[in-house]
Amino acid sequence: KQEVTQIPAALSVPEGENLVLNCSFTDSAIYNLQWFRQDPGKGLTSLLLIQSSQREQTSGRLNASLDKSSGRSTLYIAASQPGDSATYLCAVAPITSGTYKYIFGTGTRLKVLA
Amino acid sequence: ETGVTQTPRHLVMGMTNKKSLKCEQHLGHNAMYWYKQSAKKPLELMFVYNFKEQTENNSVPSRFSPECPNSSHLFLHLHTLQPEDSALYLCASSHSPGQGSIDTQYFGPGTRLTVL
C-alpha cells in the first residue's frame, strides 16, 4: 500500500532563505507526483507536476525533483517570502489497474517571517 | 480562482439533519472527485466520477451519498452524520485519465463541515 511521508511537519524560516521540503513514498510505481499549496481554510493549488519519466520541474522560484528509485521528491523554494507561508502537500498517483487517484502526504506547514 | 466552486463554504448540522454539498466546475473536465480533509490526517479520497459514472468508492460509509447529474456538477448528500465526520470537504476536477497517465486536479475552496 502506497504511503506518502513529508518531513518536516512544520518549518519556520526568516525571509530570504532558500529552503527544501521533503516527500518520500513507499512504492515507486507511480504515474506522476504533484506538489500543492494550501492556504488556511482553503482548497489546494497545484504548483508543480512531475511525470514519472521526468527528473525535475521548475516554475519561478520553485523547483521540484523526483527520484523514483529511492522514492523521494524535494521541493526547493528560493529566496522565500512571507507570501510563501502555507501548507505544502505532496501527492503521488500510483499505477493501479482501473483507478486513478492521488495519495497525499500530511503536508509541511511553512511560515516565512518578515 | 481555480474554476471549481463549492457551496456552502461553511455548514453546521446536527446528527439528525440532512444536507447537501454542491460542487461545480467550469473547466470542461469530465472527472470529478470528493476528498475529506481532517485535522492532522492526509487528504482522503472519497469518490471519483468519470463521465458521470462512479468509478471509485473508497469504503465510504453510506451516510455519505454522492450524485453526479452531469460532468459539471457533483453533490454530496449527508444524513445522520457523526461528530467525527466534521472536516473540510474538498471537490476537485480533472480531464479524464488517458492511457497510462493521470492529469492534474483542480480543487475548489472546500466546505468546512461541523457536526454537532
Q: Residue A102: is its pLDDT beyond 70? A: yes
Q: Is there a contact between B102 and B115 (Cβ–Cβ < 8 Å)?
A: no
Q: Best of A24, A101, A108 to disrupt the B interface by mutation (most B CBs within 10 Å)?
A: A101
pLDDT at B12: 95
Q: What confidence category does residue B98 fall into, taking pLDDT thresholds of 50, 70 and 90?
A: low
pLDDT at B100: 54
- Mapping DSSP to helix (H, G, I), strand (E, B) and coil, where does residue A84 land? helix
Q: Best of A24, A49, A102, A106 to disrupt the B interface by mutation (most B CBs within 10 Å)?
A: A102
Percent over 70 (pLDDT), chain A: 96
Full strand arrangement of the beta sheet holding A19-25: A4-7, A19-25, A72-77, A62-67, A56-59
When pLDDT is averaged across residues A27-54 and rounded to a whole number, the result is 90
pLDDT at B103: 73
Instruction: Output phi, psi for B101, to 5 deg.
Output: -150, 160
When pLDDT is averaged across residues A75-97 and rounded to a whole number, the result is 91
CA distance A31 to chain B (A): 6
Contacts of residue A104 in chain B, CB cutoff 8 Å? 42-43
pLDDT at B16: 87
Spell out which chain B residues touch chain A, with contact meaning CB-CB distance below 8 angstroms.
2, 4, 6, 31, 33, 40-43, 45, 48, 55-56, 58, 88, 90, 92, 97, 100-102, 104-110, 112
Q: How far apart are CA A27 and CA A63, in angstroms?
A: 22
Q: Using the beta-carbon criterion (under 8 Å), do B2 and A43 form an inter-chain contact?
A: yes
When pLDDT is averaged across residues A35-49 and rounded to a whole number, the result is 90
CA distance B75 to chain A (A): 17
| Amino acid identity for residue A46 in this structure | S
Q: Residue B83: is its pLDDT beyond 70? A: yes
When pLDDT is averaged across residues A21-25 and rounded to a whole number, the result is 97
Q: Residue A105: is its pLDDT beyond 90? A: yes
Provide the number of CB pairs (under 8 Å) joining chain A to chain B.
61
pLDDT at A99: 54
When pLDDT is averaged across residues B33-39 and rounded to a whole number, the result is 93
pLDDT at A100: 64
SS (H, E, C) chain B: CCCEEEECCEEEECCCCEEEEEEEECCCCCEEEEEEECCCCCCEEEEEEECCEEEEECCCCCCEEEEEEECCEEEEEEECCCHHHCEEEEEEEECCCCCCCCCCCEECCCEEEEEC
CA distance A44 to chain B (A): 6
Q: How far apart are CA A6 and CA A22, in angstroms?
A: 6
CA distance A23 to chain B (A): 13
Nearest to residue B89, comparing CAs of B12, B21, B28, B16?
B21
When pLDDT is averaged across residues B18-41 and rounded to a whole number, the result is 93
pLDDT at B55: 86
When pLDDT is averaged across residues A17-31 and rounded to a whole number, the result is 93
Q: Is there a contact between A46 and B104 (Cβ–Cβ < 8 Å)?
A: yes
When pLDDT is averaged across residues A84-103 and rounded to a whole number, the result is 83
Contacts of residue B33 in chain A, CB cutoff 8 Å? 101
Q: How far apart are CA B32 and CA A100, in angstroms?
A: 11
The grid coordinates listed for A28 are: 515507486
Q: Which residue in chain B has the smallest CA separation from A92?
A: B102
Which is higher by pLDDT, B4 or A43? B4
Lowest mean pLDDT among A16-25, A103-112, B35-44, B72-81: B35-44
